[in-house]
Amino acid sequence: MKKLIGAIAAIAVVLVGGLAILQKVNFNRLGADQYYTQIIDQGKMLEDKDDRGVKYVSYEYKLPAFDKDGRQKILTFTAQKQLRENAYLTLFVKDEKGVTSYQEVKKGDIPKKASEKLGK
């Protein structure tokens, strides 16, 4: 009986821990290359409708971005809101999907070679 209760408790701990990890992990960032960019314009406003006919607005950005070694790539991505002009972003990029996620960062958090290229 004690072994059964112990086994059930162990399974419960694993399940709760697994659920906690799933809530914290952003799978769009796993295995993605990181590029760094700066918002230099207001983006292109896109209007569309969802399946129910409800209108929504998103903003498309096409910007030069640099990896940690300073190699440039022109990347296109969309945001659900207009991003703050001059903000620095880390873009998470997967070969087959393009930009899968982004996060605003401070300029000091950007690797030196990429930061030097963004300053030009």
- pLDDT tens-digit series, residues 101-119: 999 999 999 999 999 888 7
Mark whether 55 and 3 lie in a shared domain: no
**Residue-level pLDDT at 71:** 93
**Residue-level pLDDT at 14:** 79
Contacting residues for 80 by C-beta, under 8 A, at least 6 apart: 58, 59
Instruction: Count CA within 13 A, CB hemisphere, residue 58.
Output: 10
**Residue-level pLDDT at 26:** 61
pTM: 0.76
Mark whether 75 and 114 lie in a shared domain: yes
Number of separate domains in the chain: 2
**Residue-level pLDDT at 24:** 61
| Domain range enclosing 93 | 33-118
79 near 43, Cβ under 8 Å? yes
Residues of the chain under the 70 pLDDT cut: 18-31, 120
**Integer Cα distance of 49 and 55 in angstroms:** 4
